[in-house]
């Protein structure tokens, strides 16, 4: 999942009234079941890590969907179906507990690529290792998102194993393309059967592992949208330069598609190297509200700026701005980022070629009220206006930003569960990262949708990705505590969800 830990610009909730927390009936029985199933749940996570689905490489796309389907049936869903799309298939499942209210769940079963040589243990082994935080599973997908999702499934197994009915009904949708920008996720949710079931939900959440080293966690009220694309310059499409790599000595008489791409890229941002310069880019940018600014400002007061800089390996914010200004920018500014540049020879030493093709991998982060469609249209118009209509724009995925009302039942029930657990919480107006929540918050569903969970982990998209299993710090949840937190949350939601969303 495309997340950015939002505690750096979050604030403690002060204005929302939360009713008294619900009690989980016979909680000891469920907790005992979770504890007794610890080894089985751990193996379930390790076995799932061993089954990677990598959409970018079309690895295990059908097998991954079927594995996801079987995991859901095993956890107690009465039905789980494969939903075909024009890309990687999704999964739709329902669990009817005969309850008054229904909760929507979003899962992703795909993971990022990995280079085994960069890992300290095999990325598909799911090895249990010692870390300063405690025992942790290391593997691709451990924290993003199979670990948190397995914790939620462990909560469902506790209900199943004890013969207990859930206090809410569940409707779940899972996709296998989140890591490439969810290009076909809308097709899954637009399926008539899926949409009809989802319309019954009071909201949708994706399980997460959001606790900080202090034990506090963050509820993110929104997320930036994202568009992933490639800009490609080639002699073939340009009509100038070579159609294949040629000897670099010919650059004296032959145009370079690589330099043309560099020149096109240089028009996308201003002289400062980061402010988007696409015409009309800020036309639909919605300013932060006073409430959102208040949350960010209060969060900055509670955050160690030096520690944040250390985590990200930076010494300066853009323009040497102060911490508050930088965090306001983080939440409010759309961006155009170069993920990678690829052209010609990149191996050891030199090869003295003039490449016939160059590619830039780009992501554009969007804020309300921007849309994916408008952003792509503006990019193409900008390139054409500046004489670069030959640059191919290949959009591989993406979606618009999302926002959820802090007074929704979904948010109020989550905060009540955190209070009941004694966990310090924070509200973030918006994650700088992205997830396809707009598929739920936008029409026709118009549901609240957020990420939510306790526990911790790290290394998403990086080598040695990990999720905590047994915690040394009593303030940070391990696997079993995280599973029980989801149990308690379902009862909290059931007690609160009386009329409306």
Of 343, 377, 399, the last residue of a domain is: 399
**Are 198 and 240 within one domain?**
no
Residue 145 in any domain: the answer is yes
Name, in order, each residue with C-beta under 8 angstroms of 213's C-beta and a sequence gap of 6 or more: 456, 473, 476
Overall pTM > 0.85:
yes
- Looking at residue 3, its pLDDT comes to 44
**Are 26 and 168 within one domain?**
yes
Residue 323 in any domain: the answer is no
Of 399, 423, 439, the last residue of a domain is: 399
**Are 130 and 260 within one domain?**
no
CB atoms within 10 A of CB 1: 21
**Are 133 and 253 within one domain?**
no
Residue 327 in any domain: the answer is no
CA distances from 109 to 28, 74, 299 (A): 31, 16, 32
Residue 324 in any domain: the answer is no
Whether residue 393 has pLDDT greater than 70: yes
| Total residue count of the chain as it appears in this document | 501
**Are 447 and 473 within one domain?**
yes
- Who wins on pLDDT, 44 or 213? 44
Q: Which of 147-156, 306-315, 482-491 has the lowest mean pLDDT?
A: 306-315
Residue 309 in any domain: the answer is no
Residue 422 near residue 434, CB atoms below 8 Å? no
- Looking at residue 21, its pLDDT comes to 59
**Are 39 and 117 within one domain?**
yes
Whether residue 18 has pLDDT greater than 90: no
- Who wins on pLDDT, 93 or 499? 93
Of 382, 399, 416, the last residue of a domain is: 399
**Are 474 and 341 within one domain?**
no
- Looking at residue 15, its pLDDT comes to 34
CATH number for 33: 3.40.630.10
What 36-44 contacts at long range (C-beta under 8 Å, 24+ apart), as own/partner pairs, is 37/154, 37/157, 37/158, 37/161, 38/479, 38/480, 41/150, 41/151, 41/153, 41/154, 41/157, 41/479, 41/483, 42/128, 42/137, 42/469, 42/479, 44/71, 44/150, 44/153, 44/154
- Looking at residue 311, its pLDDT comes to 77
**What is the tally of structural domains in the chain?**
2
Q: Which of 14-23, 361-370, 425-434 has the highest mean pLDDT?
A: 361-370
Q: Cα angle vertex 68, ends 151, 160, to 5°? A: 50
**Are 108 and 244 within one domain?**
no
CATH number for 272: 3.30.70.360
H or E segment at 79?
Answer: strand 79-83
Express as a percent the part of the chain with pLDDT over 90.
Answer: 87
Residue 434 near residue 2, CB atoms below 8 Å? yes
**Residue span of the structural domain in which 259 resides:** 225-285+334-399
**Are 262 and 278 within one domain?**
yes
Band of residue 394 on the pLDDT scale cut at 50, 70, 90: very high
- Who wins on pLDDT, 17 or 208? 208
**Are 360 and 468 within one domain?**
no
Band of residue 425 on the pLDDT scale cut at 50, 70, 90: confident
- Looking at residue 312, its pLDDT comes to 85
Nearest C-alpha neighbor of 79 from the set 162, 151, 165, 170:
170
Look at the block and give the residue holding tokens 């250390």. Answer: 310
- Looking at residue 298, its pLDDT comes to 81
Q: pLDDT tens-digit profile of 52-68?
A: 999 999 999 999 999 99
**Are 127 and 57 within one domain?**
yes
Residue 142 near residue 477, CB atoms below 8 Å? no
**Are 42 and 107 within one domain?**
yes
Q: Which of 153-162, 210-219, 254-263, 388-397 has the lowest mean pLDDT?
A: 210-219
Q: Which two tokens stand for residue 42?
A: 């751990």
Residue 294 in any domain: the answer is no
Band of residue 212 on the pLDDT scale cut at 50, 70, 90: confident
Band of residue 501 on the pLDDT scale cut at 50, 70, 90: low
Whether residue 324 has pLDDT greater than 90: yes
CA separation for the pair 191, 262 (Å, rounded): 42
Nearest C-alpha neighbor of 76 from the set 206, 168, 199, 176:
168
Mean of per-residue pLDDT scores for the chain: 93
């Amino acid at each position: 999942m495309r997340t950015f830990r939002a505690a750096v610009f979050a604030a403690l909730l002060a204005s929302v009234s939360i009713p008294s927390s619900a009690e989980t009936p016979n909680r000891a029985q469920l907790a005992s079941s979770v504890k007794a199933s610890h080894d089985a749940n751990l193996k379930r996570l390790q076995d799932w890590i061993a089954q990677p689905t990598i959409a970018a490489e079309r690895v295990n796309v059908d097998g991954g969907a079927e594995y996801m389907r079987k995991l859901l049936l095993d956890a107690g869903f009465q039905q789980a179906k494969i939903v075909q799309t024009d890309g990687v298939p999704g999964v739709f499942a329902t669990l009817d507990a005969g309850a008054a209210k229904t909760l929507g769940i979003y899962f992703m079963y795909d993971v990022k690529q990995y280079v085994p040589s960069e890992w300290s243990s095999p990325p598909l082994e799911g090895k249990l290792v010692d870390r300063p935080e405690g025992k942790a599973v290391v593997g691709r997908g451990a924290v993003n998102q199979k670990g948190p999702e397995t914790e939620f499934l462990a909560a469902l197994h506790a209900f199943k194993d004890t013969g207990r009915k859930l206090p809410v009904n569940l409707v779940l949708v899972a996709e296998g393309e989140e890591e490439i920008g969810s290009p076909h996720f809308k097709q899954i949710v637009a399926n008539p059967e899926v949409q009809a079931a989802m319309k019954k939900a009071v909201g949708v959440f994706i399980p997460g592992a959001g606790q900080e080293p202090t034990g506090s966690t963050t509820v993110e009220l929104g997320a930036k949208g994202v568009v992933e694309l490639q800009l490609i310059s080639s002699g073939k499409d340009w009509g100038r330069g070579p159609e294949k790599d040629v000897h670099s000595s010919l650059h004296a008489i032959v145009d370079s598609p690589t330099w043309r791409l560099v020149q096109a890229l240089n028009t996308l941002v201003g002289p400062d190297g980061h402010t988007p310069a696409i015409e009309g880019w800020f036309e639909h940018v919605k300013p932060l509200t006073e409430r959102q600014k208040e949350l960010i400002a209060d969060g900055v007061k509670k955050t160690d700026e030096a520690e944040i800089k250390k985590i990200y390996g930076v010494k300066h914010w853009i323009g040497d701005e102060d911490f508050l200004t930088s965090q306001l920018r983080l939440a409010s500014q759309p961006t155009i980022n170069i993920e990678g540049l690829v052209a010609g020879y990149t191996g050891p030493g030199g090869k003295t070629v003039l490449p016939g093709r160059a590619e830039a991998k780009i992501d554009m982060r969007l804020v309300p009220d921007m849309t994916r469609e408008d952003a792509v249209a503006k990019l193409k118009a900008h390139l054409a206006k500046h004489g670069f209509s030959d640059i191919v724009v290949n959009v591989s995925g993406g979606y618009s930003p999302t926002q959820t009302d802090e007074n929704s039942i979904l948010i109020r029930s989550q905060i009540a569960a955190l209070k009941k657990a004694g966990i310090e919480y924070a509200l973030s107006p918006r994650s700088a990262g992205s997830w396809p929540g707009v598929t739920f918050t936008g029409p026709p569903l118009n549901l609240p949708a957020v990420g939510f969970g306790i526990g911790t982990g790290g290394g998403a998209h990086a080598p040695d990705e990990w999720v905590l299993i047994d915690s040394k710090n009593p303030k940070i949840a391990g696997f079993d505590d995280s599973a029980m937190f989801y149990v308690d949350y379902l009862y909290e939601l059931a007690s609160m969800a009386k009329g409306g969303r």
